[in-house]
């Protein structure tokens, strides 16, 4: 994978003019999606701030309420570190929403330490530095981009040493923390549009399938997440997601988050 | 002011000339990679960054024969605005990208575009859920053509 930053340096052709005179050929107005036999299996898990951005447009959110500053436990089990790493990166996105520079910098350091614990620290050092610098200058868009790069670099480094399953747990940890915060916000100020942001049944299937392929990770939290996702899936697969469902998902994800960040 | 503009323009032109020289210096039969295709997809995305789109680091990629297509499924959120950019390093290829909702209905905005080995589709989701992004290599001089798809949101 080539990160976006590299591409900027690789600017081969001035593309700003490409759209001039370009138009889309007539595409069929309707297709049979069930007949699409050639489907790419790779799933790009949305970033927490992709959801937070949509949530922000529904009304102002007091993001400071959700910034987590207390230190999390240290673990030795790699699957637990991977889950925690994803959660902490999601905390970074929350701190950016809150425009809380000290919290962002603290989270940058925690991400670096966790990456070192799991053996991919070297790939994160430049990102941690860039996060700190951008937070100092309050360049929030740069911090968001750098957090995405951080997660991507962690996962790439894991994939390179064939730790793809740990890489998947990083995404899952981030998604769980993002969903916990989303449901907290929507529980407090319910709106059908806010609840609709939880309509992610295919992502639930994706995570469930991945967890089924991890029987070797014999840590209780992984099994707890697996069971919990089975409970969440029908709740998010409804045409309208009710306030009760949002509250239930919040209870489930809060319990899981507590299990991810604290030692039993 | 004009000096500054000229300076910027000259530097930009030199950079383009240098890059084009590098491209033409490559062996004509040199096989590209999905990473090369991704570089082109990201170039298509570049002007949109200035408009506030955050381009994801993750991407999809693969290779297709001429006339073949593939579907990518992606979760999109109502309230956001998305662009999907498709690119290939095969400069004489023609590619296309279109977005459909979970019912198979065309969901893209009319300003979606395609030009040679670049294409882009713009969607403002009417509902939160899974969408299908259909990528296609319409024409190509190569037997297999690498493609890469990136997306951005705001």
Residue B80 in this model has a pLDDT that exceeds 60: yes
H/E run at residue B82: strand B82-87
Phi, psi of B109, deg, nearest 5: -80, 155
CB of A14 less than 8 A from some CB of B? yes
Q: What is the pLDDT of residue A23?
A: 62
Q: Which of residues 180-199 of A touch B (CB under 8 A)?
A: 193, 196-199
SS3 B1: coil
Q: How far is A181 from chain B (nearest CA, A)?
A: 16
What's the Rg (C-alpha) of chain B?
17
Comparing C-alpha atoms, which of A161, A218, A144, A175 is closest to residue A43? Answer: A175
Work out whether the CA dihedral A105, A111, A114, A119 comes out positive or negative. negative
Q: What is the pLDDT of residue B3?
A: 33
- Give the pLDDT band (50/70/90) at residue A264: low
| Alpha carbon separation from A43 to A65, A149, B13, B36 (Å, rounded) | 31, 17, 38, 21
CB of A27 less than 8 A from some CB of B? yes
Q: What is the pLDDT of residue A37?
A: 66
Higher pLDDT pick, B17 / B63: B63
- Condensed to tens digits (0 to 9), the pLDDT of residues A103-121 reads 999 999 999 999 999 999 9
String of DSSP letters for A45-113: PPPHHHHHHHHHTTS---GGGG---SPPPP--SHHHHHHHHHHHHHHHHHHHHTT-HHHHHHHHHHHHH
Find the CB nearest A152 among B20, B42, B58: B58
Residue B60 in this model has a pLDDT that exceeds 70: yes
pLDDT (mean) for A246-259: 98
CB of A31 less than 8 A from some CB of B? yes
Q: What is the pLDDT of residue A25?
A: 63
Average pLDDT score, chain A: 90
Residue B74 in this model has a pLDDT that exceeds 60: yes
- Condensed to tens digits (0 to 9), the pLDDT of residues A163-205 reads 999 999 999 999 999 999 999 999 999 999 999 999 999 999 9
- Give the pLDDT band (50/70/90) at residue A88: very high
Residue A129 in this model has a pLDDT that exceeds 50: yes
CATH of B32-153, one of 2.60.120.380, 3.40.640.10, 3.40.1160.10, 3.40.50.970: 2.60.120.380
Return d(Cα A186, Cα A52) in angstroms, integer.
11
Q: What is the pLDDT of residue A240?
A: 94
Q: How far is B101 from chain A (nearest CA, A)?
A: 9
Whether B128 sits inside 8 A of A197 (CB atoms) is yes
How many CB pairs lie under 8 A apart between chains A and B? 182
SS3 B49: helix
Domain ranges of chain A: 47-261
CB of A206 less than 8 A from some CB of B? no
User: Which residues fall within 8 angstroms of residue B55, CB to CB, at 6 or more apart?
Assistant: A4, B42, B45, B48, B49, B150, B151, B152
Q: What is the pLDDT of residue A43?
A: 86
B58 φψ region: left (φ > 0), alpha (ψ -120 to 50), beta (else): beta
Find the CB nearest A33 among B52, B54, B132: B132
- Condensed to tens digits (0 to 9), the pLDDT of residues B85-97 reads 999 999 999 999 9
- Give the pLDDT band (50/70/90) at residue A14: very low
- Condensed to tens digits (0 to 9), the pLDDT of residues B108-127 reads 999 999 999 999 999 999 99
Residue A234 in this model has a pLDDT that exceeds 90: yes
**What ipTM was estimated for this complex?**
0.89
CB of A49 less than 8 A from some CB of B? yes
Is the separation of the CB atoms in A7 and B39 below 8 Å?
Answer: yes
Q: How do the residues of chain B divide into helix, strand and coil, expressed in percent and rounded to 5?
A: 25, 40, 35
Q: How far is A263 from chain B (nearest CA, A)?
A: 31
Residue A141 in this model has a pLDDT that exceeds 50: yes
pLDDT (mean) for A231-240: 95
Q: What is the pLDDT of residue B19?
A: 47
Q: How far is A261 from chain B (nearest CA, A)?
A: 26
With contacts defined as CB-CB under 8 Å, which chain B residues touch A148? 54, 56-57
Q: Which of residues 126-145 of A touch B (CB under 8 A)?
A: 141, 144-145
Return d(Cα A20, Cα B113) in angstroms, integer.
9
Percent of chain A whose pLDDT exceeds 70: 90
With contacts defined as CB-CB under 8 Å, which chain A residues touch B54? 49, 141, 144-145, 148
String of DSSP letters for A116-182: HHTT-GGGTHHHHHHHHHHHHTT-HHHHHHHHHHHHHHHHHHHHHTT-HHHHHHHHHHHHHHHHHHH
Phi, psi of A190, deg, nearest 5: -65, 135
- Condensed to tens digits (0 to 9), the pLDDT of residues A37-57 reads 677 777 899 999 999 999 999
- Give the pLDDT band (50/70/90) at residue B143: very high
């Amino acid at each position: 994978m080539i990160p976006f930053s590299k591409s900027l340096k690789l600017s081969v052709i001035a593309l700003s003019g490409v759209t001039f005179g370009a138009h889309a050929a007539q595409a069929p107005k309707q297709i049979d999606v069930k007949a699409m036999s050639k489907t790419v299996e790779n799933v790009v898990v949305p970033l927490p701030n992709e959801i937070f951005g949509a949530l922000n447009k529904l009304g102002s959110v007091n993001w400071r309420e959700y910034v987590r500053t207390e230190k999390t436990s240290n673990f030795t089990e790699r699957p637990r570190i991977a889950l925690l790493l994803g959660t902490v990166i999601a905390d970074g996105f929350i701190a950016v929403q809150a425009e809380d520079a000290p919290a962002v910098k603290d989270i940058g350091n925690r991400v670096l330490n966790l990456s070192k614990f799991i053996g991919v620290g070297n790939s994160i050092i430049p990102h941690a530095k860039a996060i700190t610098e951008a937070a100092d200058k309050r360049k929030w868009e740069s911090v968001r981009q750098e957090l995405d790069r951080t997660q991507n670099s962690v996962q790439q480094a894991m994939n390179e040493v064939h730790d793809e399953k740990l890489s998947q747990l990083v995404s899952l940890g981030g998604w769980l923390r993002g969903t916990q915060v989303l449901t907290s916000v929507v529980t407090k100020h319910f709106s059908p549009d806010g609840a609709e942001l939880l309509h992610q049944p295919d992502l639930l299937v994706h995570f469930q399938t991945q967890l089924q392929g991890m029987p070797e990770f014999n840590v209780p939290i992984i099994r707890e997440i697996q069971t919990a996702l089975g409970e969440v899936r029908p709740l998010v697969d409804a045409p309208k997601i009710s306030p009760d469902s949002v509250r239930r998902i919040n209870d489930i994800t809060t319990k899981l988050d507590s299990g991810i960040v604290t030692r039993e | 002011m004009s000096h500054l503009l000229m300076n910027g323009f000259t530097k930009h032109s030199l950079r383009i000339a240098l890059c084009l020289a590098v491209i033409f210096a490559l062996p004509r039969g040199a096989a590209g990679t999905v990473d090369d295709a991704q570089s082109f997809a990201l170039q298509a995305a570049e002007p949109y960054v200035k408009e506030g789109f955050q381009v994801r680091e993750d991407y999809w990629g693969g290779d297709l024969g001429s006339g073949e297509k593939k579907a990518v499924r992606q979760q999109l959120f109502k309230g956001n605005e998305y662009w999907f950019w498709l690119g290939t390093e095969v400069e004489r290829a023609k590619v296309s990208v279109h977005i459909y909702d979970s019912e198979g209905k065309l969901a893209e905005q009319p300003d979606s575009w395609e030009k040679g080995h670049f294409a882009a589709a713009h969607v403002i989701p009417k509902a939160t859920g899974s969408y299908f992004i259909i990528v296609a290599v319409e024409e190509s001089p190569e037997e297999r053509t690498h493609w890469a798809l990136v997306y951005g949101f705001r």
